[in-house]
Amino acid sequence: MTKETGILIIGAGPAGLTAGIYAARCGGQKVTIIEKLISGGQVNLTKTIDNYPSYPTISGFELATKMHEHAEHVGCEFVFDEIESIDLATKTVKLIDDEYKAKAIIIATGAGPRKSGAIGEDKFFGAGVHYCAICDGAFYKDKDVVMLGGGNTAVEDAMFLAGLCNSVTIVNLTPNFNANITLVEEMKKFENIKNIYHRHKILEIAGDEKPEKVICENLDTNEIFEIPCDGLFIAIGRIPDTSLLGPDIKTTEFGYIITDRKCKTSLDGVYAAGDVIDKDYRQVITACADGAIAATAAAEYIRSNH
């Protein structure tokens, strides 16, 4: 059975939930949010958030719960189901049991960090293993950390951490940094970025309740050794969730959706927000900002075209 809705939001992370709140407050349109798991997305896995305005400290799960309650309060309809297919041209989304047709769609499916595959990575996720230095670096003031990666993000994160931590050790899979040469030269000014291991792989993050060391392998000599540390930051890329969107929507070579300043995609009536779009910063607060912009623009589109 096909159900009609005004604004259909795919994904209930911070971007999707904020989009729902703003869309509902614009008035005049039914707002439906589709999520396959639980509201909040990956933010639920973040142990502590201390950089979201008005909350000096809050768990990711608690923040997600408050956002969900707010969206419900303003009248958003939530549908928790798996999406089978998406036709952006007709703005139709087919679920396992139902089908939704919308006047405008907001894609807020997010992007997940590319994992290293090391033993213990999932065990210590959010409690010693992190994928965002700006988000979680403050927890490691005057401590010793390891940075995994060799691209621009990894080098920038290493410098950010060096301004907080006692020491930063870099482990990089490739023979040299893939980062911009200017960034690499700037990084050399930090005396507490003490050790850099190219052509090395992290095999395991070891510890009891928190990481105590990482076990590395030299890929040229097969030597195995340990690096004591208090935490590990990983920056080896992210994977946007765009697998169901089809070829018509424009993306970057890495799969991120290209949008304009109003979060409009290459397709009329289709908007995108949060980590799934091509942008420089991926924080809870920036995802929320994207959601607000996308919802406002989507409501304007409907008023002009329906």
Interval 69-127: pLDDT, tens: 999 999 999 999 999 999 999 999 999 889 999 999 999 999 988 999 999 999 999 89
User: Is the Cα torsion angle 34, 37, 41, 44 positive or negative in sign?
Assistant: positive
Q: Indicate if the pLDDT at residue 10 is higher than 90.
A: yes
Map out the domains of the chain as residue ranges: 2-112+238-305, 115-234
Angle CA(29)–CA(32)–CA(35) in degrees, nearest 5? 160
How many C-beta atoms surround the C-beta of residue 54 within 10 A? 5
Q: Looking at residue 165, what is its pLDDT? A: 97
Burial class (CB in 10 A: 0-12, 13-18, 19+), 305: exposed
Catalytic residues: 132, 135-136
Q: CA 6: distance to chain centroid?
A: 27
Q: Looking at residue 270, what is its pLDDT? A: 98
For the CA atoms of 112, 116, 117, 120, the dihedral, rounded to the nearest 10 degrees, stands at -100
User: Global pTM?
Assistant: 0.77
Mean pLDDT (the chain, rounded): 95
**CATH 3.40.50.720 is held by the domain 115-234:** no
Q: How confident is the model at residue 207 (pLDDT cuts 50, 70, 90)?
A: very high
Across-strand partners of 9?
Answer: 33, 106
CB 43 within 8 A of CB 66: no
Rounded to whole angstroms, the Cα distance separating 302 from 286 reads 24
Rounded to whole angstroms, the Cα distance separating 292 from 19 reads 5
Rounded to whole angstroms, the Cα distance separating 138 from 149 reads 20
Spell out the CATH class of 2-112+238-305.
alpha beta
Across-strand partners of 255?
Answer: none
**Closest to 288 (Cα-Cα) out of 3, 19, 11:** 19
Burial class (CB in 10 A: 0-12, 13-18, 19+), 280: exposed
Backbone angles phi, psi at 119, to 5 degrees: -60, 135
CATH topology match: 2-112+238-305 vs 115-234? yes
